[in-house]
Amino acid sequence: MARPHQEIRPSQFIVTYGPGAIVETRTGPVVVKSMDQLFQQIRRDPQDFEIVDDRLSRAELGGARIARVPTNAELELPQEDWVYPTERFPFWALCMRHPPAQILYPVQRGCPRCPAGPRSRDGAQAIRFVQACRAGHLDEVNWNRIVHPTGGACRPDHFIWHGGGRALRHVTIECPDCGNSENFGQAYSRTWTCTGKQVELGQARPGGCPEPARILQRGAANLHLTVVSSALTILEMPTRLHTVLKDRAILSAARVLRRRGILNEANFRDELDHAGLPATTVAYLRGIPWNELRTAIEQLLDQEDGAIQPIREEEFDRLVRAATQGAPPVRPVTPGAPPLFEVRLADVRRFRGPFGRLQFRVTPVSRLRMVLVQRGYQRVDPDSGIVTPVSFPWGARTWFPGVELYGEGVFIDIDGAGLGLSGARHDVWRARHGEPDGTEIDHPAHVWWHTFSHRLLTTLSVDSGYSSAAIRERVYLTIDQHGDAHGGVLLFTVQPGGDGTLGGLISLVPSMGQIIDAALRDVQTCSNDPLCFESPTVGARGAACYSCLLVSETSCEHRNHGLDRLLLMENLP
Express each pLDDT in 542-570 by its tens digit.
889 988 999 887 788 888 889 999 999 99
Quickly state the pLDDT bin for 3 (edges 50, 70, 90).
Answer: very low
DSSP track, 203-239: EE-TT-EEEEEEEEETT-GGG-EEEEEEEE---SS-S
Mean pLDDT of 52-57: 83
Q: What is the pLDDT of residue 250?
A: 84
More confident residue, 541 or 313: 313
pLDDT above 50 for 509: yes
What is the H or E stretch that residue 105 is in?
strand 102-106
Question: Which 3 state secondary structure label does DSSP give 135?
Answer: coil
**Do 238 and 335 contact (CB within 8 A), yes or no?**
no
d(CA 394, CA 239): 29
CB-count burial class (<10 Å; 0-12, 13-18, 19+) for 478: middle
* Tally of CA atoms within 13 A in the half-sphere of 361 that contains its CB: 19
d(CA 317, CA 331): 20
Mention every residue, 6+ apart, whose C-beta is less than 8 A from residue 323: 343, 348, 361, 363, 411, 413
Q: What is the pLDDT of residue 6?
A: 54
Question: Which 3 state secondary structure label does DSSP give 183?
Answer: strand
Strand-strand pairing, 129-133 and 209-217: antiparallel
Strand-strand pairing, 129-133 and 86-88: unpaired
pLDDT above 60 for 53: yes
**Do 222 and 379 contact (CB within 8 A), yes or no?**
yes
Q: What is the pLDDT of residue 159?
A: 94
Closest of 51, 63, 137, 96 to residue 378, by C-alpha = 137
Q: What is the pLDDT of residue 165?
A: 67
Q: What is the pLDDT of residue 501?
A: 64
d(CA 468, CA 457): 6
Quickly state the pLDDT bin for 1 (edges 50, 70, 90).
Answer: very low
Q: What is the pLDDT of residue 19?
A: 94
pLDDT above 70 for 2: no
Quickly state the pLDDT bin for 510 (edges 50, 70, 90).
Answer: very high
pLDDT above 70 for 122: no
Q: What is the pLDDT of residue 239?
A: 62
Strand-strand pairing, 392-394 and 397-414: antiparallel
Of 115-119, 149-153, 191-195, 243-247, least confident by mean pLDDT is 115-119
DSSP track, 505-556: TGGGGGGHHHHHHHHHHTTT--TTTTTTTT----SS-SS--TTTT---TTT-
Average pLDDT of the residues of the chain: 85
Q: What is the pLDDT of residue 453?
A: 96
DSSP track, 259-307: HTT---HHHHHHHHHTTT--HHHHHHHHTS-HHHHHHHHHHHHHH----
* Tally of CA atoms within 13 A in the half-sphere of 262 that contains its CB: 10
pLDDT above 70 for 435: yes
Q: What is the pLDDT of residue 480?
A: 79
d(CA 124, CA 145): 23
Of 82-96, 212-226, 254-268, 321-335, least confident by mean pLDDT is 321-335
Q: What is the pLDDT of residue 338?
A: 67
d(CA 391, CA 201): 12
What is the H or E stretch that residue 567 is in?
helix 565-570
Mean pLDDT of 221-249: 78
Mean pLDDT of 515-536: 87
Express each pLDDT in 160-186 by its tens digit.
999 876 778 889 999 999 989 999 999
Query: What's the CA angle centered on 226, arms 224 and 227, to 5 degrees?
Result: 140
**CA distance readout (Å), 247 to 174, 241, 292, 381, 536:** 61, 11, 17, 37, 51
The proportion of the chain whose per-residue pLDDT surpasses 90, expressed as a percent, equals 40
* Tally of CA atoms within 13 A in the half-sphere of 151 that contains its CB: 0
Mean pLDDT of 332-336: 51
Mention every residue, 6+ apart, whose C-beta is less than 8 A from residue 464: 471, 504, 505, 507, 508
End-to-end CA separation in angstroms for the chain? 55
Residue spans of beta strands (DSSP E) within 333-470: 349-352, 359-378, 388-389, 392-394, 397-414
* Tally of CA atoms within 13 A in the half-sphere of 23 that contains its CB: 26
Spans of all domains in the chain: 92-217, 233-303, 311-372+405-570
Express each pLDDT in 196-233 by its tens digit.
999 999 888 888 899 999 999 999 989 999 999 998 87
d(CA 140, CA 129): 8
Q: What is the pLDDT of residue 296?
A: 80
More confident residue, 395 or 497: 395
d(CA 544, CA 489): 19
Q: What is the pLDDT of residue 554?
A: 77
Closest of 459, 373, 449, 457 to residue 409, by C-alpha = 457
Express each pLDDT in 448-496 by its tens digit.
999 999 999 988 887 777 777 888 999 999 987 777 888 999 999 887 6
pLDDT above 60 for 397: yes
Q: What is the pLDDT of residue 279?
A: 81
Quickly state the pLDDT bin for 309 (edges 50, 70, 90).
Answer: low
Q: What is the pTM of this model?
A: 0.81
Quickly state the pLDDT bin for 41 (edges 50, 70, 90).
Answer: very high
Closest of 28, 42, 35, 29 to residue 13, by C-alpha = 35
Closest of 132, 127, 186 to residue 158, by C-alpha = 127
* Interhelix angle 248-259/265-273, nearest 10 degrees: 140
69 DSSP 8-state letter = P
